[in-house]
């Protein structure tokens, strides 16, 4: 690709080419390319180099207004031979047989004009690499009263995100997209949380601000409160430059489902025992809180003919189920149910009996609809039996709660997908209702949810999708902030993505990057996102018109068991070890 009429200069050797220092002149505004108040081209001086994402500034004296600063970010850099007519001329030029000049030009997208006098820079005006003051002004860091570091720029300087767009003051929610396993979406989400908790923006609210993380991929997130053995001095230096301590999360509690067929409800984890609690729901809670609708949490269930029947049966369970003993069992119309299997068999018998079916359905319901409902319900027995219980020997604190620690992790990786949906839906509903009843948005609750396209797909409806839409649209006023991650933003409900004030993209699939959902990425950045390395994210926030390329630091906390500074113990043979009320749930740090 060529740029007609670019500035001529003699080719510089690699030894003579040096990266400019901040505040140093790097070139002049081109006159052969039209300059506008929104973008302009720069011809680089011999020996000067700029790269993508560099911040540059130029100034113009405007009559009646004085000097006007025009600052922007380099979005394109091009080099070519000027004087060559054919592609093969490159060999003659390299041999010195054909005279030609090497020219380098850069396109700059204007991010800020100060004062706001929107005039184009004049051709020939000197362009400088931004110094610290000009850089902060160009990227609006100087007007961010509450800013949190989100990583380093390509110039080796910190980059920030305005906390006003995260805590609900002027916006809320974060959407992170990228290829699974390469885009490091969860790593960036946890670093963002760490930065929020440790940057000082929360001030006196830091201790009461909570985070709820749903972990669906192994046990890698279960060691956020363990220092990382692989953290070296160079990485510590990056944290220091960001103004953050290089340490693990200080307060973490893990919730895991009970082991299948375990009569004592021992948490189903293999690498951590301290600070781990089992979570499940008793049959009493299942009936009284009408949790049956979350058993049918797939979007296909809402389109099925039995969707109305789900609500009717749930209402009957709420009215007719009575607690039995202290283990969470129920009595329904004279039949005792101690397991989820018992309850499903009861419903199957009642709904297949012509005499009692009408009392459950409330109307004449076709037998085909009832059978479809029962087939779907029976298929839930195996995945939900470990977490819907009425057979434990004693009634103890078993719910997922955010009051135990600053960061609460719900481990879902050992559960089938259907059980994962159930847990996410019920826990989110409970936390959202708790925030509603509190009557205040403070302290904040950050919810980190991966695979958002699975829980809030673009097509169809489900109970989980309804809750996530509520969080996206009303969570800002209630202090519930969603940090959602997904491989494909094009498959997530539009209203959830559009309500995210901060949008992030890591490595993208080329076909996905071409979708309209990534319109916030300029074309050149979309192309870069398809080759981005792990740890590089492109972050867009409302104040800055250009997405910023961010490299976040190596985690100071363990991201897998092998990295934990204090190696966790294996699960003990003692079935009561690690259970609340039997052993103290004290994190090791």
pLDDT above 70 coverage of the chain, percent: 90
Highest mean pLDDT of the ranges 177-191, 261-275, 291-305: 177-191
> In the beta sheet, which residues pair with residue 160?
149
Mean pLDDT of 513-517: 91
pLDDT at site 566: 67
Give residue for tokens 């009284």. Answer: 288
CA distances for 183 relative to 99, 166, 170, 230, 530, angstroms: 46, 21, 28, 20, 10
More confident position, 18 or 247:
247
Q: How far apart are CA 151 and CA 188, in angstroms?
A: 9
Mean pLDDT, rounded, for 289-305: 76
Alpha carbon of 99 to those of 28, 43, 90: distances in Å? 24, 20, 10
Phi-psi region of 279 (alpha: psi -120 to 50; beta: other; left: phi over 0): beta
Residue 535 pLDDT: 87
Query: Does residue 579 surpass a pLDDT of 50?
Result: no
The dihedral built from the CA positions of residue 298, 303, 309 and 311, taken in this order, carries a sign that is positive
Whether 568 shows a pLDDT value over 70: the answer reads no
**What integer pLDDT is reported at residue 576 of this predicted model?**
37
| Domain ranges (residues) in the chain | 25-138, 147-279+399-504+553-563, 281-389
> Angle, to 10 degrees, between the axis of helix 340-352 and the axis of helix 354-361?
110
What secondary structure letter does DSSP report for 519? T
pLDDT in tens, 83-98: 888 999 899 989 988 8
Inform me whether the pLDDT recorded for 11 exceeds 60: no
Confidence category of residue 300, pLDDT binned at 50, 70, 90: low
Would you state the CATH architecture of domain 25-138? Beta Barrel (2.40)
Instruction: Name the least confident of 455-469, 514-528, 556-570.
Output: 556-570
Residue pLDDT, tens place only, 42-54: 999 998 999 999 9
Q: For 181-219, what is each residue's pLDDT tens digit? A: 776 899 999 999 999 999 999 988 888 999 999 998 888
β-pairing verdict for 445-449 and 480-486: parallel
Q: Tell me the C-alpha distance between 410 and 398, whole Å.
A: 12
280-290: average pLDDT: 92
Which CATH code of 3.40.50.300, 2.120.10.30, 3.40.120.10, 1.10.10.10 fits the domain covering 147-279+399-504+553-563? 3.40.50.300
User: Rounded mean pLDDT of the chain?
Assistant: 86
Contacts of 260 (CB under 8 A, 6+ apart): 268, 385, 386
Q: Residue 304: its pLDDT value, please?
A: 58
Would you say residue 10 has pLDDT above 80?
A: no
**What residues does 149 pair with on adjacent strands?**
160
Q: How many residues would you count in the chain?
A: 589
Token couple for 98: 């054909």
Tally the C-alpha atoms within 13 A of residue 475's C-alpha that lie toward its C-beta: 31
């Amino acid at each position: 690709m060529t740029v007609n009429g670019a500035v001529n200069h003699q080719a510089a050797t690699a030894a003579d080419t040096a990266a400019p220092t901040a505040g140093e002149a790097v070139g002049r505004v081109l006159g052969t390319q039209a300059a506008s108040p929104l973008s302009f081209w720069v011809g680089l001086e011999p020996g000067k180099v700029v790269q993508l994402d560099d911040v540059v500034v130029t100034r113009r004296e405007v009559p009646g207004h004085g000097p006007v600063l025009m600052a922007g970010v380099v979005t394109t850099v091009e080099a070519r031979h000027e004087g060559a007519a054919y592609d093969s001329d490159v060999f003659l030029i390299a041999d010195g047989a054909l005279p030609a000049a090497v020219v380098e030009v850069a396109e700059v997208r204007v991010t800020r004009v100060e004062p706001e006098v929107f005039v184009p820079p004049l051709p020939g005006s000197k362009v400088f690499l931004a110094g610290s003051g000009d850089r902060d002004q160009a990227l609006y860091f100087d007007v961010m009263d509450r800013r949190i570091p989100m990583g380093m720029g390509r110039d080796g300087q910190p980059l920030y995100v305005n906390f006003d767009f995260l805590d609900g003051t002027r916006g809320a929610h974060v959407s992170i997209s990228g290829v699974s396993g390469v885009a490091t979406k969860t790593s960036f989400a946890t670093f963002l949380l760490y930065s929020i908790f440790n940057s000082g923006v929360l001030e006196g609210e830091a201790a009461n601000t909570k985070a709820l993380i749903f972990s669906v991929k192994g046990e890698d997130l279960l060691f956020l409160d363990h220092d990382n053995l692989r953290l070296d001095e160079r990485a510590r230096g990056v944290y220091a430059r960001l103004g953050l301590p290089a340490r693990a999360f200080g307060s973490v509690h893990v919730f895991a489902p009970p082991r299948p067929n375990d009569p004592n409800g021992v948490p189903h984890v293999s690498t951590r025992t301290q600070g781990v609690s089992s979570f499940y729901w008793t049959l009493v809670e299942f009936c009284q809180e009408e949790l049956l609708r979350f058993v049918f949490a797939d979007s296909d269930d809402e389109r099925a003919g039995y969707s109305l029947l789900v609500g009717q049966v749930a209402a009957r369970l709420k009215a007719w189920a009575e607690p039995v003993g202290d283990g969470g069992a129920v009595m329904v119309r004279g039949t005792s149910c101690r397991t989820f299997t018992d309850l499903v068999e009861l419903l199957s018998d009642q709904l297949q009996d012509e005499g009692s079916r009408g009392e459950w359905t409330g109307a004449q319901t076709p037998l085909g609809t009832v059978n479809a409902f029962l087939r779907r319900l029976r298929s839930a027995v195996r995945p939900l039996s470990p977490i819907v219980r009425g057979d434990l020997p004693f009634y103890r604190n078993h719910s997922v709660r955010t009051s135990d620690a600053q960061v609460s992790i719900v481990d879902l990786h050992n559960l089938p997908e259907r059980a994962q949906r159930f847990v996410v839906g019920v826990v989110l509903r409970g936390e959202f209702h708790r925030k509603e009843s509190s009557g205040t948005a403070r302290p904040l609750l950050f919810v980190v949810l991966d695979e958002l396209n699975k829980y809030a797909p673009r097509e169809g409806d489900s109970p989980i999708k309804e809750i996530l839409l509520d969080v996206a649209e009303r969570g800002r006023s209630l202090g519930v902030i969603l940090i959602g991650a997904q491989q494909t933003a094009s498959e997530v409900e539009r209203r959830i993505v559009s309500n995210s004030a901060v949008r992030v993209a890591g490595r993208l699939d080329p076909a996905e990057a071409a979708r309209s959902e990534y319109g916030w990425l300029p074309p050149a950045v979309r192309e870069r996102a398809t080759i981005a390395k792990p740890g590089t994210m492109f972050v867009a926030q409302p104040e800055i018109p250009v997405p910023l390329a961010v490299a976040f630091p190596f985690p100071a906390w363990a991201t897998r068991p092998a990295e934990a500074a204090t190696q966790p113990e294996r699960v003990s043979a003692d079935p009561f070890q690690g259970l609340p009320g039997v052993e103290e749930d004290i994190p090791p740090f």
